[in-house]
Structure 1
C-alpha cells in the first residue's frame, strides 16, 4: 500500500534556463497564503527552520539510543563573521581523541545550505571512526551574511577560500589532512577544488566532486532567453524574487519545494520547505559570486579544467547523475588531465543511475551507499 504522506510529483532539477517565462506564471504555488504569512513571521530567524528540520533526526538535539550525538556550532572566523556547522559524532565518541577520527566534510552548492543533506546524515553515520561536519559557506545558509564586496575573480575566490581555511584551522582539520574526506556539490565542488589548487593542495585525502559546476564551457550552444540573461547579469536571482515577495515569499518557494521534496514523508517535506524558504529569503551575500564564475546559461567563465587541477595532491572522484544537466565530459577531461600530468590513476568518474544534478536527493539510497563505500575503504 502506498504511503499516504508520499506524493508522486517529484521532479529533478533542470537546466536554469529551461523554464520559459509563460510557464513560470502558470506554475503551481501550493502553499496557502495563511501558511506563507505564518512563515514570514520567522523571516529573521532561519535558525528556527534549521533546528526544526534537524530535530527530525534521531540524534538531534539529544543523543539517540545508539549513542550518536550532534550539535550546531557557530565557528567565528573573525570578530563578526562565522561559519554555521552541523557536526555529528559517532557512538562512543571520545573528545580527547578528536584528531584520531576520520572526518567527512559536506559542502553544499550554489544557493544551498547544510540542511539539504538532511536525508544523508542518518544513513552515513554508521562507522564509529568517523565524525561528520556539514557547513554553510560564508554568505550562505545560516552562516553570517556580510556585504559582498568582491569585484573580480581573485577577490571572489578569496572570500570563500579564506573563510574555509579559517574554519578548517579552527577545527584543527588542517593538522591531519590525510583523515579528511571532502564531499562537495555543484559550485561548492568548484570552490573546494580551486581552494586546493590556490591555497592548500593537500587539505584532504580525497574529494568527491558531486555534479561539479563550471568545469568546462558548454560544448553546444544553449538558448538563453533575453530576459533571463539580463536578470543574470544584474545579479537578480530567484532569491531576489523571494525577498521582494514579502509575506508571499514562502508560497513562491513552494513552487520549487513541492516538486523537489515530493517523494519525502509530509513532515520532512514541510520542514525542508520552511528551511529552504528561511535561507532563500535571508540577506543576499555569497550568492552574488555567481555572475563572476558563470555566464548567463551557467556557462563557465573560468573553466576548472584550465585552473591547474594537477596541482591537487588528493584523489578525486567526479560523480554525475545519469540525467545530470552538468556535462560528464568535464569530469572525464579533468581526470584525463590529472592522471596524465601526475602519471597516476588518482582521478576517476562515476555515473549514478536514476538521478540528475541533485544526486543526494534524486537517488538518496545510491548516494548514501556511495559515501559509505568511500568511508569504508578510506
Structure 2
C-alpha cells in the first residue's frame, strides 16, 4: 500500500470513528484508530490489524472497534465490530449486516446500539462490501466490463461478478472464525446475500439459518431477465461442477407467453425515475460515482444537498436539540464525502451488470432457484419494505408467497410505515424492533 493510500484510509477511518462516537452512548467504549506509524510508540497495534486478544475477553461490557480484515495482500474487508459482554456466561450470537449500493456501514448509525444492547453475548459485524466504503478497492476485472455475445456467456459473466463479491465475504467469515451467524442485507447487499447463501450456505453445513432481506434489489421477473426460459431457471451457484455444461440451447429464442406477460404486469417494477443520462451510464458501464466525481468542486455541493435531504430527520440519542442533530448530519455528510470521493473504480461498477437502468435484474432472484433453495435448507427469511419505498415490494412478496405455498413456517413479509428505500434510516425504531423480533434477540 502506498503512503498516500495509507494516509487517506486512516483519515477516512478517523471520520468514521467520529461519526460513531457522536451517536453511540458513553457506556459503549469504541477503540480510537491509531495511525500505523504511531502505533509502536503508543504501545498499540495499527488500526487495520485484528487484535490478538478478542475484545470480548477484556473487562468492557459494551465494546466497539473498526477493523480491516485482510483477505489477501490486495483486499481487505472493513468492519465495525461491536460486542455485548454484559453477561460473559451466555453463548455468543453473531449478526452480520451488509449495506446496499451507494451506501456503507456508517449509514447504520441509528441501528447498531439498539441491536447491540438487545441481547447479551451478541457480536455485531457491520461490514463494507469489497470496493465500497472503507474496504479496499481492488481493480475491477476488465473482462467483467466486456459485452458477451451469447446468452450463456452473459449469464456466466454475471455469476462470476457475483462470485467476485461473495467469495471475498466467505473468506472474511473464515478469517473471523464465525461458524454461525444471522444475516441482514439491504438492497444490492440483500441481492448479494442471496447469492452468498445459495453458494456457501448448504443444508449439510449451514452457517446461516435466519435472513432479513431489506428492500432487496433484483427480485422480480421482467423482460430484462436472461432466464425467461424455465429450462434455464436454476441455482447457478449450486453444487454442479459446471452449471452451463448441460445447457446447449441457451440461445434459442425465449417464447414470451401470455402467462409470462401477465406475470410481468402483475409484478410491476421499481418506481425509479426514468432518465436518459442514467440509461447512457449503463450502456457504457459507468457508475454514478464516476460521473459525479467529474463535476469537480460542484460534486461537494451535490453531495451536500443529498446529505441534507437524506439525513435531515435524524436525531441524536441524547435529545432532539437542533445543534446536536445538525452536528450528526454534518458528520454524516463528511463521512459520505469520504467514502464516495474515492477515485479507484471498483465494486460499484458491477451495478451496471446486475441490473439495467430501470433497476431490473438480468438474473432475477425469483427465476434462479432461490425459493427451492430456501425451502431445501429451511433458512427462515423476512422480506421487508418501506411504505414509501421506490423498490418494488411485489417482487419480494412474490418470493414470499411462493415460499408460503411450500412451507408456511419459513417466510414472512412486512411493510414498515414512514419509510422509503433506506428503511433503517427513515424509521430506525421500527426497523430495529423488526430485526430484534425476527431474530428473537432479547435482553
Q: The TM-score by the shorter chain falls in which range?
A: 0.7 to 0.9
Please, which of 108, 119, 122 is the counterpart of residue 113 of structure 2? 122
1:279 counterpart residue number: 339
Distance (whole Å) between structure 1 residues aligned to residue 95 and residue 351 of structure 2: 26
2:131 pairs with 1:67: no
The CA deviation at 1:45 is 3.6
Which SS does the other structure have where 1:326 is aligned?
coil
For 1:196 and 1:249, how far apart are their aligned partners in 2? 37
- Give distance in 2, aligned partners of 1:203 and 1:67: 26
> Match for residue 197 of structure 2?
196
Could you tell me how far apart the structure 1 residues matched to 2:440 and 2:410 are?
18
> Which residue of 1 is the match for residue 245 of structure 2?
none
Equivalent residues, number: 329
Instruction: Find the aligned partners of 1:42 and 1:110 in 2 and give their Cα distance.
Output: 22
Q: 1:362 aligns with which of 420, 426, 431?
A: 426
Deviations 1:188-231 (A, max 9, x none): 00101111112324331100000000001464477733322112
Deviation at 1:80, TM superposition (A): 1.9
Do 1:249 and 1:277's aligned partners in 2 also have CA atoms closer than 8 Å? no
The structure showing larger relative contact order (alpha-carbon pairs under 8 Å, at least 6 residues apart) is: 1
Distance 1:162 1:42, change over 3 A: closer
Residue 21 (structure 2) aligned to one of 27, 36, 55: 55
Confirm or deny that 1:206 pairs with 2:172: no
What pairs up with 1:72-87 in 2 under 5 angstroms? 72-87=66-81
- Structure 2 match to 1:334: 399
Pick one of 155, 164, 167 that aligns with 2:172: 167
Q: Write the deviation string for residues 4-39 of structure 1: whole angstroms up to 9, x where unpaired.
A: xxxxxxxxxxxxxxxxxxxxxxxxxxxxxxxxxxxx
Deviations 1:130-182 (A, max 9, x none): 11110001111100000111522122111111000001111122x2x2xx211
SS in 1 for 2:95: strand
2:158 aligns to what? 153
- Whole-Å separation in 1 of the counterparts to 2:175 and 2:279: 40
Residues 1:244 and 1:93: Cα distance change in structure 2 (over 3 Å): farther
**Does the Cα contact within 8 Å between 2:221 and 2:367 map onto a contact in 1?**
no
Q: Is the 8 A contact 1:54 1:60 kept in 2?
A: no
1:333 deviates by 1.4
Provide the residue aligned with 1:5 in structure 2: none
Correspondence 1:171-182 to 2 at 5 A: 171-173=176-178, 175=179, 177=180, 180-182=181-183
1:260 corresponds in structure 2 to: 310
Instruction: Say what the alpha-carbon RMSD is for the aligned residues.
Output: 2.4
Deviation of the 1:243 alpha carbon = 2.3
| Structure 2 Cα separation of the partners of residues 258 and 305 of structure 1 | 36
Counterpart CA distance in 2 for 1:277 and 1:232 is 23
**Which residue of 2 is the match for residue 232 of structure 1?**
282
Candidates 79, 83, 89, aligned match of 1:89? 83
- Cα gap change, 1:102/1:297 in structure 2, threshold over 3 Å: closer, same or farther? same
Identify which of 78, 102, 108 aligns with 1:111: 102
CA contact (8 A) 1:109 1:188 kept: yes
CA separation in 2, counterparts of 1:256 and 1:217? Answer: 31
2:99 equivalent to 1:133: no
What TM-score comes out, normalization by structure 1 length?
0.81
1:304 partnered with 2:309:
no
Write the distance in 2 (CA, Å) between the matches of 1:171 and 1:324. Answer: 34
Q: Given the alignment, which residue of 302, 318, 326 partners 2:383?
A: 318
Long gaps (5+) in structure 1:
1-40
Alignment match, 1:102 = 93
Distance 2:136 2:87 in 1: 29
Relative to structure 1, the CA distance from residue 45 to residue 249 in structure 2 (aligned partners, 3 Å threshold; closer, same or farther) is: farther
The range that moved more, 326-335 or 205-214, is 326-335
Q: 1:245 aligns with which of 272, 295, 301?
A: 295
